[in-house]
Amino acid sequence: MADDTKLTLLERLEFKVASALFRLPPPMLVRLSGKPPVVIDGLRLHPEVQLLLSLRERKGVPRKSALSLAESRHRLRREALMHAGALEPVASVTTRVLETKQGPLRARHYVPPGDSRRRPLLVFFHGGGFVMGDLDTHDSPCRRLCHHAGVHVLSIDYRLAPEHPFPAAVEDAIAAFEWALEHAESLGADPERVAVGGDSAGGNLAAVVAQHTVREGTRKPALQFLLYPTMDRTRDWGSLSHFAEGFFLTRVDVEWYQEQYMTGSATPLSDPRVSPRQEKALAGAPPALIVTAGFDPLRDEAEAYATALREAGTPTTLRRFDSLVHAFANMSGLSRACREATVEVARLLRRMLDEVEPSRARNGANT
């Protein structure tokens, strides 16, 4: 069986050729894409992303419903590895098993370079529609966050649907956060500043964990970091129609993920544990950093959540990258624009966590 953690000779060659192409001037990138500049909803797609999507389309990307689960998961691992590029240096990386109240969970701990003592801890939940993704698919973005945000990152390998449908991922996410609160100091991190975060489906889980702590009156995360999260499946958002096809994540993908995640569940999509934007009691929620992409079908629901948090009095920073697409943090190896955006996000995260007052973080239990 091929090693999913290493590029094949052919993949290395493809990456070198693609890397050379992406160094060409922007007008040439658009020309190579075979299409005119893409402008939708008043936004212009970045030339690097336009070429990246064009190359992906030419290579052929079958619909997930046409593949077995094993094939879909394998394909994501290969794409993540192809797009990872050079890995950011960190002090150390350790894969371990967390003994949580939900049972054992695999996790990967990234220690930031330099003096890592008393640096914050980010409990990170990977994307993949609750169906795909693992510690390896998100190794590169976790390293980039660790390096540029100067934070410990604890990436969680939560249970996936449809083998483990809703609410398994939610239960694992809550258990992982509670484990992190208890063990942050033993990891060498600042126990006063334990944050939650994630991309796409992982951003959903991070928001659900934050809401759970408010609802239960338990200690809250120091920050909730939501990177192009899926937040509300109860309505047809404008961006879901604008970018239904051709921008990495499609409407069909979103619907397929939802079907897998909710297998056998009678829970309505309006339940905040499924659609966090549906939560009405947002007062007292932890500070939020919400990041969106202009050409992402999930853009509008994430930005609506930022508005709801602000209206509830939660300090919220919203940063949209107008010219990028969903999952841009996983495309940083080829696209300079995606890499620079991810680094900017990491620095925003660092600034916001550095501004957290220890007393406020420790008193995260509802007061």
Annotated catalytic residue: which of 116, 200, 275, 323?
Answer: 200
Token digits of residue 144 = 């980039």
Tell me, what amino acid is at 131?
A: V
Q: How many residues does the chain have?
A: 367
- Dihedral pair phi/psi, residue 357, rounded to 5°: -80, 130
Which listed residue (157, 199, 296, 300) is catalytic?
296
| DSSP secondary structure letters along 294-338 | TT-TTHHHHHHHHHHHHHTT--EEEEEETT--TTGGGGTTT-HHH
Q: Is 326 a catalytic residue?
A: yes
Cα 297 to Cα 360: distance, rounded to the nearest angstrom: 35
Q: Which of 83, 109, 152, 326 is catalytic?
A: 326
CA atoms within 13 A on the CB side of 163: 7
Q: Which of 351, 287, 341, 336 is nearest to 319 (CA)?
A: 341
Strands 224-227 vs 288-293: parallel, antiparallel or unpaired: parallel
Distance CA 72, CA 131 (A): 9
Long-range contacts of 69-76 (CB under 8 A, 24+ apart): 69/131, 69/162, 72/131, 72/132, 73/131, 73/132, 73/134, 74/4, 76/128, 76/132, 76/133, 76/137
At residue 88, what is the residue type?
E
Is 232 labeled as catalytic in the residue annotation?
Answer: no
Euclidean distance between CA atoms 40 and 75, whole angstroms: 29
Residues with catalytic function: 200, 296, 326
